[in-house]
Chain A
Amino acid sequence: MKFLYGILIFILIWWVLSVFINSLFILPSPLTVGKVFFEIIQTKTLWDALTSSIYKGFIALILTILIGFILGFFMGICDFCFEILRPILTVFQSVPVISWLVLVIFLWGIGTRGPIAITVLSLLPNTTFAVAYGVKNTDKNLLEMAKVYNVSKKKIFKDLYLGSVGPFILTALEVVSGNLWKVIFVSEYLCGKNGIGVQIAWARQYVDIPKVYALTIFAVVLGILSERLSKLFVKIFLKDWEYGN
């Protein structure tokens, strides 16, 4: 209920500001944007764009988690790997999305691969570091206990390392899912062939400001939905850790 009140207050402030500014090009009223929103959700173009963005987001998420987990695991168990990869990832972390753009446009041109690559490159450092620190934090006493009892490497990996990394990787997933759509839409805007980001780019091109806002609402809803979903996912999978800690 409080969440709904928050939205209502936000819409009210927006409406007051739009009346005060009185310019469709700067801040269209919530009613205008609402009308456009209901118009565009009835078009196939929007749903095609949404499917494309979700597809790219999903692939980028899987690749980020997969590569981040493998790299992070080796960084966690091998200090040499950690020292070698840390500066590279720190550089990656600081590179702005726009700089990756040059690289992917020359490599693949406009299309699907560019936004996926940019998203992975932007989100990979945080995920990798999260996994690496998780592995590094694996309780040495538990590893010693496993050694004494001659526990198999497979079990040590599954029950101790994965167990230790679990909370780190799921927290990283929560952070990644929050940032995922922002990066996807920006990279689509810059080098995508289709997707919500591309729709925003076209709307801006035609100075269709209410459509830009309507598409932004769509992006916000998608962001909130995926964050809620990832939180639910984290809650289910962290059940054991919550009980255990």
Chain B
Amino acid sequence: MVIKLENINKSFGKLKVIENISFSLSKGEKLVLLGPSGCGKTTLLRIIAGLESFEGIVIKNFKKLGYVFQEPRIIPWKTIYKNLKFVEENDKKIENILKTLKIYEFKDYYPNKLSGGMKQRVNLSRALVIEPDLLLLDEPFASLDIHIKWNIINDLLNEWRKRNFSMIMVTHDIKEAIMLGDRILVLSNRPSKIIKEYIISEKINEEKLTREIIELWTHEVKA
């Protein structure tokens, strides 16, 4: 087990955003938290990363944490290489990950010279260069073109096959969740709670699953 969350609750003042969420993640597992926009998915990731206070129990059994933020959070006055150097001292590791994610030739560029897709590759490189045990991904592909998105996802999956780290990704994109996850936890509208769990196998009927999840959310809104 890499991480275990028990009865996590979170409120901002009177606004309850997370209600009794519990789950655990095993080594090498890819878990997707799928929920509608604004349901508190990012807050849940921030709780795991230690950036947010909460009620409940989080048992952490990992050393290194990588976090792919929704917005790239790259230091504007440093080159791409130096941005990675900020989190990892080993030059060899930096060069390798830049090559793997196909941005080595841009290593001396400043962030403002990069496209959105490139910036997300830097964001992902920074998370992977530290060789994380657990990787958190906060809707990292939300603003990207479809072909760039799938290219980056492919590179990410290749890296995961090599290193076998665990992943938790939050998204509202059902297709993305099915593509990336071994297991999907469907979250309700705010206050966010787990309403359904799916184990993804090769046999899964993507269309049927998509319809089911949409129905779940629609039913939730009506209720």
Take A144-B51, A151-B86, A159-B86 as given contacts and tell me if A244 and B78 are in contact as well, using a CB distance cutoff of 8 Å.
Answer: yes
Question: In the complex, what residue of chain A is closest to B71 when comparing beta carbons?
Answer: A141
Question: In the complex, what residue of chain A is closest to B123 when comparing beta carbons?
Answer: A145
Task: Chain B residues near A20: list those with CB within 8 A.
Answer: none
Fill in one digit per residue for A112-145: 1 if any B CB lies within 8 Å of its CB, else 0: 0000000000000000000000000001011011
Take A147-B51, A244-B112 as given contacts and tell me if A166 and B77 are in contact as well, using a CB distance cutoff of 8 Å.
Answer: yes
B40 interface residue per 8 A CB criterion: no
Name the residue in B49, B65, B76 with the highest tally of chain A Cβ atoms < 10 Å from its Cβ. Answer: B76
B195 interface residue per 8 A CB criterion: no
The answer to whether A141 touches B111, judged by C-beta atoms less than 8 angstroms apart, is no
B73 interface residue per 8 A CB criterion: yes
The answer to whether A159 touches B78, judged by C-beta atoms less than 8 angstroms apart, is yes
The answer to whether B112 touches A245, judged by C-beta atoms less than 8 angstroms apart, is yes
A160 interface residue per 8 A CB criterion: yes
Task: Chain A residues near B110: list those with CB within 8 A.
Answer: 240, 243-244
Task: Chain B residues near A163: list those with CB within 8 A.
Answer: 75, 77-78
A237 and B197 CA atoms in complex are apart in Å by 54
Please give the distance in Å from B63's CB to the nearest CB on chain A: 10
Question: In the complex, what residue of chain A is closest to B86 when comparing beta carbons?
Answer: A159
Which residues in window 67-116 of B have CB below 8 A to A? 67, 69, 71, 73, 75-78, 86-87, 110-112
Name the residue in B71, B110, B130 with the highest tally of chain A Cβ atoms < 10 Å from its Cβ. Answer: B110
Question: In the complex, what residue of chain B is closest to A163 when comparing beta carbons?
Answer: B77
A91 interface residue per 8 A CB criterion: no
A241 interface residue per 8 A CB criterion: yes
Task: Chain B residues near A160: list those with CB within 8 A.
Answer: 75
The answer to whether A149 touches B69, judged by C-beta atoms less than 8 angstroms apart, is no
Name the residue in A145, A155, A241 with the highest tally of chain B Cβ atoms < 10 Å from its Cβ. Answer: A145
Chain B: interface size category = 10 to 19
Task: Chain A residues near B87: list those with CB within 8 A.
Answer: 149, 151
Take A145-B69, A149-B87 as given contacts and tell me if A244 and B130 are in contact as well, using a CB distance cutoff of 8 Å.
Answer: no
Among B51, B67, B86, B112, contact of A155 (Cβ-Cβ < 8 Å): B86
Please give the distance in Å from A232's CB to the nearest CB on chain B: 19
A139 and B78 CA atoms in complex are apart in Å by 14
A4 interface residue per 8 A CB criterion: no
Please give the distance in Å from B28's CB to the nearest CB on chain A: 21
A147 and B46 CA atoms in complex are apart in Å by 12
Please give the distance in Å from B106's CB to the nearest CB on chain A: 13
Please give the distance in Å from A151's CB to the nearest CB on chain B: 6
A148 interface residue per 8 A CB criterion: yes
Task: Chain A residues near B49: list those with CB within 8 A.
Answer: 148
A223 and B69 CA atoms in complex are apart in Å by 48
Name the residue in B51, B65, B77, B87 with the highest tally of chain A Cβ atoms < 10 Å from its Cβ. Answer: B77
Which residues in window 22-68 of B have CB below 8 A to A? 49-51, 65, 67
Among B50, B73, B76, B86, contact of A245 (Cβ-Cβ < 8 Å): B76
Please give the distance in Å from B73's CB to the nearest CB on chain A: 5
A243 and B49 CA atoms in complex are apart in Å by 32
A141 and B69 CA atoms in complex are apart in Å by 10
Known: A144-B73, A244-B77. 17 other contacts (CB 8 A): A141-B69, A141-B71, A145-B67, A145-B73, A147-B50, A148-B67, A149-B65, A149-B86, A149-B87, A149-B130, A155-B86, A159-B75, A160-B75, A240-B110, A244-B75, A245-B77, A245-B112
A-B contact pairs, 16 of them (CB 8 A): A141-B71, A144-B51, A145-B69, A146-B86, A147-B50, A148-B65, A149-B65, A149-B130, A155-B86, A159-B86, A240-B78, A241-B76, A241-B77, A243-B110, A244-B78, A244-B110
Q: Which residues of B contact A (CB under 8 A)?
A: 49-51, 65, 67, 69, 71, 73, 75-78, 86-87, 110-112, 126, 130
Q: Which residues of A contact B (CB under 8 A)?
A: 139, 141-142, 144-149, 151, 155, 159-160, 163, 166, 240-241, 243-245
A-B interface, 3 closest residue pairs, ranked by CB to CB distance from nearest = A244-B77, A244-B76, A149-B87
